[in-house]
Every structure is written in C-alpha cells, then in structure tokens.
Copies of this chain bind each other. A is one copy, B any other.
Amino acid sequence: MLSDQQILRIPGPSPIPPSVQRAMSQPMIGHRDQETKELLQRIKPDLKPLFGTEQEVNIITGSGTAGLEAAVVNTVKPGDEVLVIVTGAFGDRFAKICAAYQIKTHRYDVNWGEAVTSDAIKEYLEKYPSIKAVFATFCETSTGVLNPVQEIAEAVHTHSNTLFIVDGVSCVGGVEAKMDEWDIDILVTGSQKAMMLPPGLAFIAVSERAWKVIENNTQPRFYLDLKKYRDNLDKDSTPFTPAVSLLFGLEQVLRLIEQEGLEQVYARHQLMMKMTRAAFNALDIPLLTTDKAASPTVTAIKPADFQADELRRILKEDFSLTMAGGQQHLKGRIFRIGHMGYCSPADVLQTISVIEIGLRKAGKTTELGKGTQAAQEVYLR
C-alpha cells in the first residue's frame, strides 16, 4: 500500500485543501492586535452568503455541539416548551441538550432514513401552540437525509413568534441555505464539514426575531453567551481567544468558494450526490434514503447481502480509504460516504471504483466498473 496516502470519505471531518493548510501555517498573531481585527473584517462579509443572511455570522471556538448548545441556552430556559424534530443522531443530540437544561421537550421522531414533512410539523404546532421554539436538523449526518427546512420554516412561522432553529453542521457551505428568505431564526454550522477546515470552530447566525428572545432570556450562560460574540464582532473582535489558525484557514476557504462561485459549489455537491447514488443503483445495492430525501453532502448505503463494516475494513486496509459506519441502531447495518467540501467528481469516481474492488473482496459478485460507469454517465449528462 502506498505510504502517506489517506483517502478520507467520511461525512466530516473532511479533507483540507492544500492552500488552506498553508494559510493555517502562518505565524501566530495576537488575538487583540490589528492583524486579527483586519482578518475578521475580511472574513465577516464573505461568511454571510453561505448562510444566506444579512446578519453577521458569529464564530465560537468549539465543536459543532458547542454551536448547538449555544442555540439552546440562548433562546430557551427551564420550563419552556420546545419541539425537537429527530430524524437521526443529531436531532437526538438537540433533544439531549434540551433535556440537560430541563427544557420541556416534545420529540417528533421520524424513521431514520426518512425526512420530516412540514405538514406533520404544522399539525403538531396546532396541537401544542405553547411551543416556543422548533429545533431541526438540515442535513442529518447519521442518515444522509436533507430535511426540507424551507418548508418547515414556513409551517413554523404561521404560528406567531415560535423560533425555528436549524443545525446545518453537515451541509452549510455545500448546500444552498437562504436563512433570511426562508425565515430561519438560527442557523448553526461547524468548520469540519462542507467548510473545508479542521474541527474547532462553530458558526451561528441569528435573526432579528431571535435576538429579541436572546436578549430577554434569563438562562445563565457565559462562554456560549451569543450577546458577547455579537457585541465583540461588531468591533471586529471576539470575546475569548479564538482559534486563530483556523481563522487563517477560514479566510482562504472563503476565497476558494468565491473563486469557484457559490452556485458552482452547490452544483458540484448536487452532482457528486447524483453520481454516488447512480453508482449504487447500478450495482443494485440499496440506498438508505429516497432521491427526494437525499443530501448532497453524504450518502448512506444499506447493503442487503454483505457486511457494511467488512467492506469498510477492506477499503481501509487496501486503500487507506475511510468511510463511516452507522450510528446507534444503524451500527453495522449501513455505511456512509461523505462527498462534501474539498471533494470533486473525480474523487467520487475514485471512491466508487475502489468500492467495486472492495465488494469483490467481500465476496459479492458485482460486475466491475458498472457503478463507475453509471457515475461517469451522470457526470457527462
């Protein structure tokens, strides 16, 4: 096996572009110095289009979960009633965070692999009009489902002042998000997925409606207090020492996205999804989700006649290619391919063609090249 090659095809962390790697290697600077001020000045305007907002995007040093928790502790307090839409492991995480803070939590569970419908949420809110906030997952990383957050936003906002809070961790930057137009109140993402950076930053954009709630919320918080981030960002600063090297990288990521064009970035992710799905369809291996529910950033496959984890083991051993397994009750039953961020159609072809070899080694008598061919055809169409 070729030394020093790692092919990372999990749904985050995702590979880092070489120019971003170089940007992160810039010498350290003081977080209170003019250099950092200017860095934030350059970053701020270019972050907004990824969220589809005119609001400033706040940057927290932490895992994506820190961003999700910030969305909770800033908007609700113990005893408040919320609805958490659970379509997989990350919807479940929102529910767990709410539970930890004694928020009165309604769970709306959907079968893993399916998307929620806006009608269901509309009905639910009619039944429980005292719900103050609805939490949803945009792309559910654990299943590869893209939930229809635009439609859900509409359903939520027919109801007075209910907030609509969205975890966009595994898709913002790779999937169109129009926070202002769709009327999403809070949109969170992390650095290590479609944002092409190492883990360590959480991003969180907040609507005017949500800021009003945040300002009056008595829930104690300090490190995750969004008001502190907003007030400092207004002065091109951060309340606490930020992960400076990731900010260096972020500036370069935003430059790369600008060079490619945001629409092209989204189209590339759509294409990679279609290529991946066409390949498994051609190989007659079941996909976990329908075409309609599928995310452009991650595809989950649910094999009927071979072991998902055995295929993963073979590809890791033979090609240093890493795919993700299933989480919670899907452990061992699915495998997931990340195709987001620094990933191209050529990378998808590599992944598919390598998987075809792995399938043979796993004892499945698939026709070699058949999946690859289907993906190539999608590319050429």
- CB <8 Å contact, B29 and A200: no
Q: Is the CB of B28 within 8 A of A198?
A: yes
Which of A239-247, A358-366, A368-376 lines the interface with chain B?
Answer: A239-247
Q: Which of B8, B33, B62 contacts A30 (CB 8 A)?
A: B8
Q: Number of contact residues on A: which range applies?
A: 35 or more
Q: How far is the CA of A243 from the CA of B333 in the complex (A)?
A: 29
Known: A69-B222, A100-B220, A220-B100. A242 touches B63 (CB 8 A): yes
Against B, the Cβ 8 Å flags (1 = close, 0 = not) of A315-328 are 00000001010000
Q: Does A344 contact B (CB under 8 A)?
A: no
Is residue A271 within 8 Å, beta carbon to beta carbon, of the partner chain?
no
Identical subunits present? 2
A101 x B220 contact (CB < 8 A): yes
CB pair B324 A199 closer than 8 Å: no
Q: Is the interface of A mostly helix, strand, loop or mixed?
A: loop
Q: Which chain A residues (288-307) contact chain B, with CB distance < 8 Å?
A: none
- Flag if A223 contacts B28 (CB, 8 Å): no
A27 at the B interface (CB under 8 A): yes
Contact of A223 among B13, B63, B198, B242 (CB under 8 A): B63
Best-surrounded residue of A10, A224, A241 (most CB of chain B within 10 A)? A241
State whether the Cβ of A130 lies closer than 8 Å to any Cβ in chain B. no
Instruction: List residues of chain B with CB within 8 A of the CB of A117.
Output: none
Interface check A6, CB cutoff 8 A: yes
The interface residues of chain B lying within 8 Å CB-to-CB of A322 are 29-30, 33
List 12 contacting pairs A-B, 8 Å CB cutoff, sorted by A.
Answer: A13-B241, A24-B245, A25-B25, A29-B322, A61-B62, A65-B241, A69-B222, A69-B223, A102-B220, A192-B244, A198-B245, A199-B242
